[in-house]
Amino acid sequence: MVDQNVVDEAVKKLNSHKGVVGTIICNGEGIPIRSSMGQEDTVQYTGLMTTLVLKARRLIRTLPVARRPAEEDDLGIEHDHDHHAAQEEQELEVIRLRSEKHEVIITPEFNSKKMDFILIVVQDPSVV
């Protein structure tokens, strides 16, 4: 479990950056845990971004993975990489969306097969 003080400091630091409109942390089900934005904006961003993250993650896992050449171990035996395992290891790390009005940076955190939480940062692109 993450120390609450560490989370508070990280959110405070993010919100202090020039151009940041707000930050939202929500759990894997898309329920807001902490937000520096108004209730209406928080609910709207959380619902939309959670859906986007789940769909993007599914898409990334279906993309083809470039095959790596077989490697030799210390005994000179060639080992082919498990292509299916490599595809399963592909993970969504960051989504960045930019419009005239806002730039949204979404950072999901996955643990095993489920999503633990999502960090959403909304910025004013004219300031950044």
pLDDT digits (tens, 9 = 90+) for 10-35: 888 989 999 999 999 998 888 998 99
pTM (two decimals)? 0.76
**Residue at 73 is within a domain:** no
The structure tokens listed for 26 are: 């929500």
For the residues of 5-42, what is the DSSP string, one character each? HHHHHHHHHHHHSTTEEEEEEEETTS-EEEESS-HHHH
Domain count, the chain: 1
**Residue at 72 is within a domain:** no
**Residue at 74 is within a domain:** no
Phi, psi of 79 (to 5 degrees): -125, 125
**Residue at 75 is within a domain:** no
**Residue at 71 is within a domain:** no
Average pLDDT score over residue span 53-79? 74
- Give the CATH number, domain containing residue 38: 3.30.450.30
Structural domain of residue 10, as residue ranges?
Answer: 4-62+81-123
**Residue at 115 is within a domain:** yes
